[in-house]
């Protein structure tokens, strides 16, 4: 199926050649992607669980951060044992497999999940089907942004135009076709071609806003302390407020420095992704060959890879024994 869209929305023909370039599932890449789209006030953080501690860290009251959504980059598994038993059942006889499938179908939790998956999404949820290759993570990002557009400081003119064009589409496939043919997101992904992710409000912007507020509190308290006619109790309260604000400023400055360092590293990583290292690699291989070191280097690399694979297999075997 192909659709032709008006040029005013930045959309183009979506067809067989509309597959997108693969991009890494990395917070630096995702942040660069939305920066290119003009989205403000949103950030991505890599997380490794969904326990209370993770939620507390992401929903930080100290810098007024808020979770907007989660993007699952890999298939979720309940635990290693269930995964292992599932793989074992797949290698058993067909009769045993059929029996296992019948048991699974009678599992209330599995049946409820299957029933929920079969239900159409509610009208309040913007849900597009993926209709182009290599678009799963990017499409998940757009789904979070568009569903949380009222919570975001500025989703940018490009996303506003896309939303105005597709907001009345009821068919998830048509929505997916529209996104698949949307030029701005495809162009942004192509510029970045060379784990679970949380979408949160941008911590750096939140920190800067809080810093501004605490500096105003400290300056106001200091100004009032310099005025005459203050009582001892009032002066004490003002000094306590000033000291509290200065303490928060110190913490926020440290958080700001950490966030800036993290984003600077993301920028360096993205610069490397955009650079074509092929000429450098070929030149290095030629020099190794001239010096008679290329074959030795290949053998060393092969041996190292084999040792790594052996160690990984041994570690996997010990985990299975422990789980048993």
> pLDDT tens digits for 251-290?
888 888 888 888 888 778 777 767 778 888 889 889 989 9
- In angstroms, the CA 296 to CA 283 distance is 17
CB atoms within 10 A of CB 232: 7
Asked if 151 and 160 count as a contact pair (C-beta separation under 8 A), the reply is: no
Residues 256 and 195 placed together within one structural domain of the fold: no
Q: Are residues 64 and 166 in the same domain?
A: yes
260 and 210 within one domain:
yes
pLDDT at 97 over 60: no
The pLDDT assigned to 303 comes to: 93
For residue 223, tell me if it sits in a domain: yes
| SS3 (DSSP) at 269 | helix
pLDDT at 192 over 50: no
245 and 157 within one domain: no
State the alpha helices, DSSP H only, in 131-231.
136-147, 156-166, 172-180, 183-191, 203-226
Tell me the β-bridge partners of 200: 43, 67
pLDDT tens-digit map of 227-257:
766 788 888 888 888 899 899 899 888 888 8
Q: What is the pLDDT of residue 188?
A: 54
Query: Is the pLDDT higher at 253 or at 203?
Result: 253
Domain presence at residue 136:
yes
Count of structural domains within the chain: 2
Q: Indicate whether 69 and 130 sit together in one domain.
A: yes
pLDDT of 195 over the 50 cut = no
Q: Of 86-95, 156-165, 170-179, 223-232, which gets the smallest average pLDDT?
A: 86-95
More confident residue, 311 or 124: 311
**Is 279 within the bounds of a domain?**
no
Are 135 and 239 members of one domain? Answer: no
| pLDDT for 123 beyond 60 | yes
| CB-count burial class (<10 Å; 0-12, 13-18, 19+) for 197 | buried
- The parent domain of residue 69 ranges over 27-75+121-201
Query: 44 with 179, same domain?
Result: yes
- Per residue in 292-311, pLDDT (tens digit) is 999 999 999 999 999 998 88
Domain stop point among 184, 201, 218: 201
Q: Of 258, 274, 290, which one is at a domain's C-terminal end?
A: 274
Give the range among 105-119, 164-178, 218-232, 272-286 with minimum mean pLDDT.
105-119
- Residue that finishes a domain, picked among 159, 176, 201: 201
pLDDT digits (tens, 9 = 90+) for 53-94: 877 777 766 656 788 888 887 655 555 444 444 444 444 433
Q: Tell me: do 170 and 138 sit in the same domain.
A: yes
> Three-state SS for 43?
strand
Q: Same domain for 145 and 229?
A: no
pLDDT tens figures, 9-49: 333 333 344 456 666 677 877 888 888 888 888 888 888 77
Judge if 54 and 143 occupy the same domain.
yes
Residues 55 and 187 reside in one and the same domain: yes
Q: Is the pLDDT of residue 103 over 90?
A: no
Taking Cα atoms as reference points, which of 65, 84, 64, 93 lies closest to residue 322? 84
């Amino acid at each position: 199926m192909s659709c032709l869209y008006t040029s005013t929305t930045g959309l183009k023909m979506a067809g067989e050649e509309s597959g997108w370039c693969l991009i890494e599932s990395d917070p630096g890449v995702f942040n660069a992607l939305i920066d290119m789209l003009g989205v403000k006030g949103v950030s991505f953080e890599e997380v490794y669980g969904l326990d209370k501690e993770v939620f507390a860290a992401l929903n930080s009251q100290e810098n007024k951060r808020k979770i907007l959504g989660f993007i699952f980059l890999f298939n979720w598994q309940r635990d290693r044992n269930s995964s292992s038993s599932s793989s074992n059942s797949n290698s058993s006889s067909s009769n045993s497999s059929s029996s296992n499938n019948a048991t699974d179908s009678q599992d209330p939790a599995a049946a409820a999940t299957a029933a929920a998956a079969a239900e159409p999404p509610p009208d309040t949820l913007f849900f597009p089907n993926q209709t182009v290759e290599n678009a799963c993570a990017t499409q998940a990002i757009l789904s979070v942004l568009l569903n949380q557009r009222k919570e975001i400081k500025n989703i940018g003119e490009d996303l506003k135009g896309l939303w105005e064009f597709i907001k009345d589409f009821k068919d998830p496939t048509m929505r997916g076709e529209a996104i698949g043919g949307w030029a701005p997101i495809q162009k942004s992904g192509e510029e970045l071609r060379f784990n679970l992710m949380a979408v949160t409000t941008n911590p750096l912007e939140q920190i800067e806003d809080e810093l501004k507020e605490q500096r105003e509190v400290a300056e106001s308290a200091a100004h009032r302390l310099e005025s005459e006619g203050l009582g001892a109790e009032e002066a004490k309260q003002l000094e306590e407020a000033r000291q509290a604000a200065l303490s928060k400023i110190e913490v926020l400055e440290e958080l700001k420095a950490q966030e800036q360092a993290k984003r600077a590293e993301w920028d360096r990583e993205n610069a490397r992704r955009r650079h074509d290292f092929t000429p450098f690699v070929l030149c290095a291989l030629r020099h190794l060959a001239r010096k008679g070191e290329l074959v030795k280097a290949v053998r060393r690399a092969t041996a190292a890879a084999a040792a790594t694979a052996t160690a990984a297999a041994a570690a996997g075997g010990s985990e299975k024994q422990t789980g048993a």
